[in-house]
Amino acid sequence: PDAQVSIVLADDEFVRGLNRDYRDQDKATNVLSFPAGEGAQPENAIRLLGDIVVAYETAAGEASSEGKTLGDHLCHMVVHGMLHLLGHDHRTAPAAKAMEKLEIDVLAGLGIASPYEAGPPGNDQSR
């Protein structure tokens, strides 16, 4: 029941370096997720889920070009990254559709409109 996630808001250069080093893609992306290892944790310890790294300039540019508030788009990026940490992905069309529905539902619970009404952003590259 108790879990911990680290959320980092970084510049595009930092995220590009992570994307290059860990995903072999030498480009910035809006959000990356790094799950924590599966090693044994002490009983009653807080479960470490991993890290979510959001690229500020990329996210701000997307929000502007898509007519969204920066706050809503940053929330979407964190939700997207969190779903990756929980084991969801968008590698196949059915998986992408299921993940989008979860994102929409979680964001609705936060009072944020569906980020996909104008079509999904094309740069969601979480790991």
- Is the predicted pLDDT of residue 104 greater than 80, yes or no? yes
Rg (CA), the chain: 15
First to last CA, the chain: 24
Contact 12, 31 (CB under 8 A): no
For residue 118, name the pLDDT band (cuts at 50, 70, 90): low
In the structure, what pLDDT confidence band is assigned to residue 98 with cuts at 50, 70 and 90? very high
Residue 7, helix vs strand vs coil: strand
pLDDT at 31 over 90: yes
124 pLDDT tier (thresholds 50, 70, 90) = very low
The alpha carbon of 46 is separated from its chain's Cα centroid by a whole number of angstroms, namely 21
Which residues lie across from 48 on neighbouring strands?
4
Q: Which of 102, 108, 111 is nearest to 81 (CA)?
A: 102
pLDDT one-digit tens code per residue, 49-84 = 999 999 999 999 999 999 999 999 999 999 999 999
Instruction: Please state the pTM of the whole predicted model.
Output: 0.86
Q: Residue 47: which pLDDT band, with cuts at 50, 70 and 90?
A: confident
